């Protein structure tokens, strides 16, 4: 079942199923490798940010932006 990445468990692999938001938000995420079908892993969850690994790169993503990334278990 698909859900925002903010509901995912740490150190578990997910597949990106969709990106919600306006065109600017989608473009910003796609430029960084958050494309539909890509695998990601949540490395750390703080109160305001997630550290996410995509394509062997790590990104700090704030909670609001992370809620727009829809994933499913890999």
pLDDT of residue 17: 98
Place of tokens 């278990």: 73
pLDDT of residue 9: 95
HEC readout, the chain: CCEEHHHCCCCCEEEEEEECCCHHHHHHHHHCCCCCCCEEEEEEECCCEEEEEECCEEEEEEHHHHCCEEEEEC
pLDDT of residue 57: 96
pLDDT of residue 4: 97
In tens, the pLDDT along 5-39 reads: 999 999 999 999 999 999 999 999 999 999 999 99
Domains annotated for the chain, with CATH where assigned, are 3-73 (2.30.30.90)
pTM: 0.93
């Amino acid at each position: 079942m698909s859900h925002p990445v903010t509901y995912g468990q740490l150190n578990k692999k997910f597949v990106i199923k969709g990106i919600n938001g306006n065109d600017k938000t989608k473009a910003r995420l796609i430029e960084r490798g958050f494309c539909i079908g890509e695998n990601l892993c949540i490395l750390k969850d703080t109160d305001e940010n997630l550290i996410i690994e995509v394509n062997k790169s790590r990104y700090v993503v704030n909670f609001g932006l992370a809620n727009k990334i829809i994933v499913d278990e890999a």
